[in-house]
Chain A
Amino acid sequence: MPAVCMNSISTIPRRDDAEPPQFGAVRTAFAQFESHALAGGEPDWLISLRRRELTRFLEAGYPTRRDEDWRHTSLEAVSALPFTIADSADPDDRFGQLLAGSTFSSVSGRRLVFLNGHLITALPRAEQSNDGVYLAGLARAVREKSEILRARLMADSENGSDGSLGALNLAFAREGAVVIVPANTVVDEPIILVFVSSPRIAGERTHVRNVIVAGPNSRATVIEHYIGLGTEPSVTSSVTELHAGQGAVLEHLKLQDEARSVFHLATLQARLESSSNVNCHSFALGSRLARQNVLATLAGEGIEAVFNGLYLGDADRLIDHYLSVDHVAPGCTSHEFFNGVLDDKATGVFYGRIRVRQHAQKTDAKQTNKNLLLSDDAAAHTRPQLEIYADDVKCTHGATIGQLDPEGLFYLRSRGLPIATARRMLIHAFAGEIIERVSCRAARDVLDRLVWERVERTRHVAESNQ
């Protein structure tokens, strides 16, 4: 039995030092939050779950770079910020304009909009529809869909795989989107979830917890879009729990396009059942520092899963993707494709673990991570990790870090294209590889335009700095 690179799941480091002074603010914020929650009639099970999660966070603290899984990404700036829970904000004109001009505004589909982690109920609501799809904020859903959510959130807490940040999220997440697609239901138009952050003071924290359940043989597309207003440094914490039932066909697309003052810390936790077909896309365009975990368990046989991502970095921004794909059952395929375009002093981080359990024979797992550096000061760190305990599997990984292919550039120029056009063509093609995997056509078209606008804004798109 070949076993490659056996690393245990990162253990939460013991804190020998005294509790950091900022944690006093966390406790204070929680006491306030708890009294609101109690007053708001939140179920007891949830309140005790939150307490447990808070303790878990306070014991473990923020991950540090001593933790192998956070080697390249420091959260010192996050832990040093004040800790204030973002208040509900009134949706003002600026919010209205941002929303009206936002990427998916032209894409039709039912939607929920959150501002600073609070559901905006003033907007037209289309959550109840005759196809039986349940779409509501978490605060309401914990009462209306108590059993489902209790099971999901308890399971999250018990497996704890998203670490102390996941614990902090569950302790404070008042809201989030809950999407439940009944069995055998086909939803044609995407369900669009928009999360706007509009911090007024430094250190504001927004926590959202989303739950997406696609019933057996259902078919749906869910889009999460994170955008923001303002320039105060703030923290968005987002955890999405996704469950694809047997035979479900689910496309999940996340566009992280936050303001450049935001620290975006997110986890997508996916559990896929047999014969499901799931595509998860992560487009990381914004924020000052972004960490996206994708933790997927392929729990049944015959699953086809694609994890697809594009990140664009410039200035001194850092974008970190951490993937862990766990093949538990035989005969599944998982393909990961992540491309990054990095300019200025930006840093891209990609970690991809594929675990193939002993019974997961006939696994076909593939991973590629390609990084295009447009400047000498940009950096990319990429690390594949295969843990294979089955003997009849096909697992491949490949990573590249480099500049635009000089042969390709010369070829295009030798046909009369100016060097700036040639560079644009190659960069667009590099990003296009990822965009074209999005099946939802309406979303793909607007994403393509958005990515191209962003690429055009980076400094060295047309000219090399060498």
Chain B
Amino acid sequence: MTFSGAACYSDLSMQPILEIDQLEAGVQGKQILKGINLKIYPGEMHAIMGPNGSGKSTLASILAGRDGYEIIRGRVLYQGRNLLELSPEDRAREGLFLAFQYPVEIPGVNSAYFLKAALNEVRKYRGMPELDAIEFLALVKEKIKLLELDEELLKRPVNVGFSGGEKKRNEVLQMAVLEPRLAVLDETDSGLDIDALKIVANGVNCLRKPDNAQLVITHYQRLLDHIVPDKVHVLVDGRIVMSAGKELALELESKGYDWIVREAKRAN
């Protein structure tokens, strides 16, 4: 099943999966996010674009619960609950997934073992029976084909010795296995060649369902050739300065960010 942007038009009577309200946050005393507002409804794919240093990765980190960020004001509701009071593991069990910009290498921890443990934690939390080794392998083998990854990777330690492209595809594999309600993809396109980009995009597209949502964070438009967002937001200096349909991405590609940065400054 595939969805076009138009087909999954949101039903405004529904509760948003994610609702960010006037979020201001920083790190080590330096304010980075200066009032973010964002609503993502089931079935939607949103893209956040912006120049380097605009706060894109900070937003992703705060959503996933990384340590070291200070919330100055504002709130983040995830399926109606205060997201910011949940531990990173509870966010994951509630269906939030962050595809890391820099997936972490974990020497000595076997990939299959790790992924099975993670999946069973999530299933347990959702009141589903845990999968045994055989059931897990059947599931993961099906998903691994989608990402065109080598099954041998499952026998290796998590991300250790993986190429840049393999690491990113492995993130999407984990996402495919964990079936999140909201997936945040932080610069998943960076460091990918065009073939890997298509595979990742295909993986993400296949995971789109009417009851889930994706937030794609990217610097470049090229990923959005393959993953078509419903909405594109431009983040500049900690604020969303413009939101529009998918055509905004194309405009940014041809004109760059400078004009929008200038406009944002004028508006201030």
Contact = CB atoms under 8 A, between A and B. Distances in A.
A416 B108 contact: no
Interface in B166-187: 174, 178
Contacts of B109: 412, 425-426, 429
Interface in B54-90: 64-67, 87-89
Nearest to B109: A429
Interface stretch (A61-69, A184-192, A403-411): A403-411
Contacts of B89: 413-414, 416-419, 422
B86 to A, nearest CB: 11
Contact of B67 (A405, A410, A426): A410
Contact of A433 (B64, B93, B107, B121): B107
Nearest to B66: A410
Given A413-B89, A415-B92, A416-B93, A432 B121 contact: no
Contacts of B65: 413-414
B157 A429 contact: yes
Nearest to B118: A415
Contacts of A70: none
Interface residues of A, number: 23
A421 interface: yes
Interface stretch (B97-105, B147-155, B251-259): B97-105
Name the prevailing secondary structure of the A interface residues. helix
B106 A413 contact: no
A433 B106 CA distance: 12
A23 interface: no
Nearest to B100: A411
A428 interface: yes
Contacts of B67: 406, 410
B9 interface: no
A430 B178 CA distance: 26
Given A414-B64, A416-B92, A417-B121, A425 B87 contact: no
Nearest to B95: A416
Interface in A73-110: none
B66 A408 contact: no
A417 B118 contact: yes
A408 B118 contact: no
B216 interface: no
A408 B117 contact: no
Contacts of B104: 405, 407-408, 410-411
Contacts of B93: 416
Contacts of A419: 87, 89
Nearest to A436: B108
B174 A415 contact: yes
Interface string B235-247: 0000000000000
A415 B178 contact: yes
B125 to A, nearest CB: 7
Most A CB within 10 A of own CB, among B66, B106, B118, B157: B106
A426 B106 contact: yes
A50 to B, nearest CB: 46
Contact of B92 (A406, A413, A428, A429): A413
A422 B67 CA distance: 15
Interface string A134-174: 00000000000000000000000000000000000000000
Contacts of B106: 408, 411-412, 425-426, 429
B140 interface: no
Interface string B29-68: 0000000000000000000000000000000000011110
Contacts of B174: 415
B109 to A, nearest CB: 5
Contacts of B158: 411
Interface of B: 64-67, 87-89, 91-93, 97-98, 100, 103-104, 106-109, 114-115, 117-119, 121-122, 125, 157-158, 174, 178
25 contacts: A405-B104, A406-B67, A407-B104, A410-B66, A410-B88, A410-B104, A411-B104, A411-B106, A412-B118, A413-B88, A414-B64, A414-B89, A415-B114, A415-B118, A416-B89, A416-B121, A416-B178, A417-B121, A418-B121, A419-B89, A421-B117, A422-B89, A425-B117, A429-B108, A433-B108
Given A411-B158, A422-B89, 4 more contacts: A415-B115, A416-B118, A416-B125, A426-B108
- Which 10 pairs, one residue from A and one from B, show the smallest C-beta to C-beta distance? A429-B108, A416-B92, A415-B118, A411-B104, A413-B88, A416-B121, A416-B122, A413-B89, A432-B108, A429-B109
